[in-house]
Amino acid sequence: MSLQKKWVDSFQLFENKEDILKNKRQEAIIFFEQKGFPTKKDEAWKYTSLSTLLKNDFEILVSKQTSLTSEDVRPFWIQEDSHKVVFVDGVYSSELSQVQSDSFMVSSFREILKSEDAADFTSKYFDRETRKDDVFTALNTAFSKDGICIYIPKNKVVEKPIELLFLATDLGKAMCYQPRNIIEVGENAQVKIIEMHHNLSTQKVLTNVVTEIFVDKNAILDYYKIQNDSLTSSMIDNTYISQEGNSNASVHTFSFGGELTRNNLNFYHHGERLESTLKGVTILSGTQHVDNYTLVNHAEPNCESHQDYKAILSDNSAGVFNGKIMVEKIAQKTNAYQQNDTILLSKKATINTKPQLEIFADDVKCSHGCTVGELDKDALFYLQTRGIPKKEGEALLTYAFANTVLESVRIPALEDRVSEMISVKLGTGVLI
């Protein structure tokens, strides 16, 4: 039996298939059944093959949950003084979570679907900005059981970061999880959020996560994705961000771990004078594969977007960057920038990069570009003549290469942790 058919059949046993979202779920599973998994014949997946991943016999229904302690999760936290939200095997854990604030609201997606406000909530937020032609978003819609819902009220500033930690334990079989996250940052509100996923078992795990974020007028969102999981893990990440006028939303994606990762990051503009920032650092080795697929839809005048993605690839690893800036006819005075730079540390490492501009307005400033090359041998030789070993010299040059992304991180503890991850990934004991 194919994985597709197994999952379609599993829907009949899904405990939530008759909840308030039953119509959307039914439409989504029919779409998945008809469409199937994307292949390299699909333009958007031309450089990313799922054939090896889909040979795993993933279970999509979770039959049990493992208990963890606060000591089990402590090593994963970025900052001691933060709001902490924990999911274990796809289910929210109130015992492990630590949210101590009355300035914003946190609830599990599962609990909201059971509440009296479920109809209003789902009609306002659920599936509002998602791409209806995306198979994995549809799959998540069909099977989403839990996730985090965060609401930052008007004029509230959340001083401490919110850390979202999704843990997978050993359930004795390969598992696929479907978190569904919905976040609203109210007018004039501000928040910083860190999202992390970790597989604690030796079993294969696929996480298919969908996050819908709504950034209201004059609001500020800083979102950080830390992808440093084990090689038994793969991820399909669909994030949809809707921005209102004068808002500022930034997403930093740090991809160091995992077997296969696909990041679909979509920004939609619904007001003037807003700013969108998309930045990422990818460092891969072995046969790791990371595909960053971005879209910024400029649909209003006088807005800005900035994209800066760096990749450092070694061994037989592969990177993909497919970024699109779309400027609608009405979106005059748009200022959009897109850049993708890659360093190849091995002759067998590969990068496929495709920055794109689709412009229908005539009064804009838009640019895009990419570079692919090796580390500067002259600079490396200079460092070696000053007594710095080659490995450490490569780490220093690599850090300098990625610094344009790190310098905009607004959480010092996170910047330190990412620097440490870079050091470990490069195989040097030097902490930069």
| Residue range 20-77, pLDDT digits in tens | 999 999 999 999 999 999 999 999 999 999 999 999 999 999 877 788 999 999 999 9
Nearest to 181 by CA among 251, 252, 115, 106: 106
For residue range 339-373, list pLDDT tens digits in order: 999 999 899 999 999 999 999 999 999 999 999 98
Alpha helix ranges (H) inside 271-347 = none
pLDDT value of position 393: 83
pLDDT value of position 428: 62
Distance from the first to the final alpha carbon of the chain: 49
pLDDT value of position 432: 47
Nearest to 288 by CA among 28, 53, 57: 53
> Has this prediction a pTM greater than 0.85?
yes
pLDDT value of position 423: 79
The Cβ of residue 22 has, within 10 Å, a number of other Cβ atoms equal to: 11
Instruction: Catalogue the long-range contacts made by 416-419 (C-beta closer than 8 Å, 24 or more residues apart).
Output: 417/78, 417/226, 418/226, 418/254, 418/281
Please, what's the b/e burial string for 198-211 (b: 16 or more CB within 10 A of its CB; e: otherwise)?
bbbbebbbbbbbbb
Residue in the structure block whose two tokens are 């999704």: 166
pLDDT value of position 67: 86
What dihedral angle (degrees, nearest 10) is formed by the CA atoms of 83, 88, 91, 92? -20
pLDDT by 10-residue block (mean), the chain, 432 residues? 95 95 97 97 96 96 86 95 96 94 91 94 94 96 97 96 97 96 98 97 97 98 97 98 98 97 98 98 96 98 97 96 96 96 94 94 94 84 82 79 86 94 74 48
**CB contact set of 304 (below 8 Å; sequence gap of 6+):** 274, 275, 276, 334, 335, 336
